[in-house]
Chains A and B, each alone.
Chain A
Amino acid sequence: AQSVSQHNHHVILSEAASLELGCNYSYGGTVNLFWYVQYPGQHLQLLLKYFSGDPLVKGIKGFEAEFIKSKFSFNLRKPSVQWSDTAEYFCAVNTGGFKTIFGAGTRLFVKA
């Protein structure tokens, strides 16, 4: 069965630090990849997505992610985090049907 692994469950950073959250999936075929974010007290919302083309995709609020097919990875990055980036981040994979599988999530806390 397809699965999504997020390596870090909790990350604590100071403002202006760089961020990289790992995501690996297990599926050998074509995939659609997503990062969703849940800010405190808010609902889950889409941060960015990859379907095809340029493997480096840019999302809202300065986030980007790189799809590396050979590594089955879709890591999320941001060069300089802000206190407002404190949230839980979920990686998700869709393997061509309507079923989307999510990782366990990474809780990011940014110290002001």
Chain B
Amino acid sequence: GAGVSQSPSNKVTEKGKDVELRCDPISGHTALYWYRQSLGQGLEFLIYFQGNSAPDKSGLPSDRFSAERTGGSVSTLTIQRTQQEDSAVYLCASSLGQLFNSPLHFGNGTRLTVT
């Protein structure tokens, strides 16, 4: 079946501009995650959504970052007034969500470059 789909695959933007990154999870997966992968930094947790519960936003690095998930499916990560340090690969993952130990299924990521 279809996996996690992310768009765009690459995004180059100028410092100060806003960007939106999109994630389509696997159908039926109730949990959705955003991570940031920077060179040498591993995967940094940003936010997750689980069903209709309030999202866990504890990993968002600043108030310039926000995310929403509409209809329990598609999610958008928005970065306002982008800075050069925001350059990274942004990964989305989804899981069945019924169990805490459900493995994550990752998309191919969006590579964001802020010039």
Contacts and interface: CB of A to CB of B under 8 A. Distances in A.
B65 interface: no
Interface stretch (B13-21, B73-81, B98-106): B98-106
B103 A46 contact: yes
A45 interface: yes
A104 B101 contact: no
Contacts, number: 56
Contact of A101 (B45, B93, B97, B107): B45
Interface string A32-48: 10101000001111100
A71 interface: no
Interface stretch (A12-20, A78-86, A92-100): A92-100
B31 to A, nearest CB: 6
Contact of A98 (B3, B100, B107): B100
A51 interface: yes
B1 interface: no
A43 B91 CA distance: 9
Nearest to B106: A44
A45 B52 CA distance: 26
Interface of B: 3-4, 31, 33, 35, 40-43, 45, 48, 50, 56, 58, 91, 93, 97, 100-101, 103-104, 106-109
5 contacts: A44-B91, A49-B101, A98-B48, A102-B42, A104-B42
